[in-house]
Structure 1
Amino acid sequence: MPLDQMDSRILAELQNDGRMTNQQLSDRIGLSPSPCLRRVKQLEADGVITRYVALIEPTRVNLGVTAFVRVRLDQQDDLRLSIFEEAVAAFPEVMECYLMTGDADYQLRVIVKDLHAFEEFLRRKLTKIPGVSQLTTSFALRPVIYKTALPIGDRVADRGAAS
């Protein structure tokens, strides 16, 4: 869906603060409240805006270990891919999962309390999925750049970057 400049500004502002009122949003983008609300509702209906969330600092909720796990399957057929994807979708520790090109079939971002919890996750969950043949893990020492705002339209979206 092509976005015009006003839609891009709406998205940039909502990515920075999804809790702002429609009045606040309309003031920030220079559009009256009624057309602003219509545009937001249309962006939601079109599936551009899929949900609103609260971003939580992991260490504040005792989740101090982030691991990136590369997974290789023994076969890459549709059945094995589907089995793997359904299984990892059910694991709350898996924050992101990407089907990849290159050495690994999947890349996961996993977040857990500590190394013991990560070992338990590997032993009791990830290695139990049929077709998993190889795992390679790297642990994050600290985030350098972590963004949630997509780079849409003008540079307004960059204001929400946190490091």
Structure 2
Amino acid sequence: MDKIDRKILALLQKDATTPVAEIGRKVGLSTTPCWRRIQKMEEDGIIKGRVAVLDPAKINAGVTVFVSIRTNEHNDAWMRKFAGVVEDFTEVVEFYRMSGEVDYLLRVVVPDIAAYDSFYKKLISKINLTDVSSSFAMGQIKYTTALPLEFAIVSDDDK
């Protein structure tokens, strides 16, 4: 990866629908070399996909809940079962295994508290959990899908 690749990634993170010719122009490449770089980053798994970012309120999913989960089960079989259970819930948009006091953290999006309560009841009916704590987001201060590119390792030729 070099500085041009980082510039391409920055542009794609802002708007993945930007035409390759325009990206190339902004980074100083013609269309074909720019397209090849994008293809290579896709093949290398740097670019994992291209998606549309939706407005949660406009699709009736405006309530965000952070769900902290603790369990007494700390084995691979239970973890795989839990992951399978969580995978089936479309309300769960992020799922992490954590260090510290909390074992797992979920980010859940729903239309309202009643929908969250329904989700919660379905979740606890499918798997045994020691403790579940829910925190409702009161407002979103910052949200981005863009990753910081200043940490990307660049080739020695472009430092």
When the two structures are superposed, what TM-score results if normalisation uses the length of structure 1? 0.89
Is residue 68–residue 109 contact of structure 1 (8 Å, CA) maintained in 2? yes
Provide the identity percentage.
38
Q: Aligned pair 1:8/2:6, yes or no?
A: yes
Is residue 91–residue 110 contact of structure 2 (8 Å, CA) maintained in 1? yes
What does residue range 1-163 of structure 1 map to in structure 2 within 5 Å? 3-124=1-122, 126-153=123-150
Structure 1 alignment gaps of length 5 or more: 155-163
Report the RMSD for the aligned CA atoms in angstroms. Answer: 1.2
Instruction: Give structure 1 regions of 4+ aligned residues with deviation exceeding 4 angstroms.
Output: none
Give, as a single letter, the amino acid of the residue that structure 1 aligns with 2:16.
Answer: G
- Provide the C-alpha distance between the structure 2 equivalents of 1:4 and 1:32, rounded to a whole number of angstroms: 17
- Provide the C-alpha distance between the structure 2 equivalents of 1:139 and 1:47, rounded to a whole number of angstroms: 34
Q: Deviation digits for residues 105-155 of structure 1, max 9, x if unmatched? A: 10000000100000000002x21232322101100001001111011139x
Give, as a single letter, the amino acid of the residue that structure 2 aligns with 1:135.
Answer: V
Q: Deviation digits for residues 57-84 of structure 1, max 9, x if unmatched? A: 1001111210000011221100111111
When the two structures are superposed, what TM-score results if normalisation uses the length of structure 2? 0.91
Is residue 73–residue 133 contact of structure 1 (8 Å, CA) maintained in 2? yes
Count of residues in Structure 1 that have an aligned counterpart in Structure 2: 151
Structure 2 alignment gaps of length 5 or more: 152-159
- Provide the C-alpha distance between the structure 1 equivalents of 2:59 and 2:127, rounded to a whole number of angstroms: 32
- Provide the C-alpha distance between the structure 1 equivalents of 2:40 and 2:120, rounded to a whole number of angstroms: 42
